[in-house]
Amino acid sequence: MDTTVRIALQKKGRLLDDSLALLKESDIKFNIGNGRLVAQSTAFPIEALFLRDDDIPQTVHEGVADIGIVGENEYLEKGYDLDVVKRLGFSKCRLSLAIPKSDHYTGVGWFDGKKVATSYPEILKKFFAKEKINAEIHEIAGSVEIAPGIGLADAIFDIVSSGSTLVANSLKEVAVVMNSEAVLVANKNLDDEKREILDQMLFRFQAVQSSDSNKYILLNAPNDKVKDIVAILPGMKSPTVLPLAEAGWSSVHSVISEKKFWEVIDQLKANGAQGILIIPIEKMIL
């Protein structure tokens, strides 16, 4: 019987959209429709389960799913012993403490003796214990941001992305407890065949994400400037230099990090580079 890896994914929301986008770019596609909770990939030995995000850590821990993509916040809150295989770099947010906008914040000691509403009591307990804060934690399943306004709590501890929800409820963010992003987690008891499939998937993820953070660059340079320009473009190993039909000129090809894009472009122009072309990379195999 062929081995299939089962992956748990959030059944809706931004994390699902980001996860499916990465899988699709890695040529791992699912036939999804009509509220299906299970879907098989047509070109890769993997099956998807679509679950509530807070059910994913337990599902992977118990072996119902072999791996899962989940928010780091949910993984830490549930506390199951899983392998964090890869930080995925998307669906980023932060877990923060927020208080009414009209209150004067004096530091983390402000929370001593206060009641704080949250959907993440375990993470908050650890934070308060570390800071030696004695606060009452009130667990709420949803709509945490309304708790101060209806007199249920003095403050909240919740996910913050843009901060617009806080503003809409007359709250202000006063302390970031942790930053979170999507992580790929795995059951610690995967057999060798399933680990091999997981490794193949990770290889594809790496190729996609490396291409997202790098650009292919082509430029023309006078031969007496090639050495200086090559020093600016380290590339994956070293830039490729090819002679042009016009005497005294060469074409230089390389890969640059998107983070250093403008810095590198300015240096190239200052060293005589012309006809600079920047091309997206579809996949990048390191």
Strand partners, 84: 185
Question: In this predicted structure, what is the pLDDT of residue 73?
Answer: 95
Is 233 within 8 Å of 239 (Cβ atoms)?
Answer: yes
Residue 75 lies inside a defined structural domain of this protein:
yes
Does 174 lie in the same domain as 108? yes
Of 109, 260, 82, the residue nearest 184 (C-alpha): 82
pLDDT score for 262: 79
SS3 70: strand
pLDDT score for 1? 43
**Judgement on whether residues 117 and 143 belong to the same structural domain of the protein:** yes
Q: How many residues does the chain have?
A: 286
CATH code of 197's domain:
3.40.190.10
Residue 197 is predicted with a pLDDT of 95
189 in the same domain as 79: yes
**Strand positions, DSSP E, the chain:** 5-10, 38-40, 46-51, 67-71, 83-87, 93-100, 115-118, 136-139, 155-160, 171-180, 182-186, 214-222, 240-243, 249-257, 274-280
75 and 118 share a domain? no
Residues 6+ apart with CB under 8 A from 244: 220, 250, 251
Q: Return the pLDDT at 286.
A: 63
In a domain, 150, yes or no: yes
Domain span at residue 104 reads 93-180
Q: Write down which residue in 165, 180, 195 finishes a domain.
A: 180
Question: Does 133 lie in the same domain as 176?
Answer: yes
pLDDT of residue 120: 96
The per-residue pLDDT string of the chain (286 residues; one tens digit each, 9 = 90 and over) reads 468 999 999 998 899 999 999 999 899 988 877 667 888 888 899 999 999 999 999 999 999 999 999 999 999 999 999 999 999 999 999 999 999 999 999 999 999 999 999 999 999 999 999 999 999 999 998 789 999 999 999 999 999 887 888 999 999 999 999 999 999 999 999 999 999 999 999 999 988 887 777 788 899 999 999 988 888 886 556 788 999 988 999 999 988 877 777 778 888 888 888 888 888 877 766 6
Kindly state whether residues 67 and 110 are assigned to the same domain: no
Overall number of domains in the chain: 3
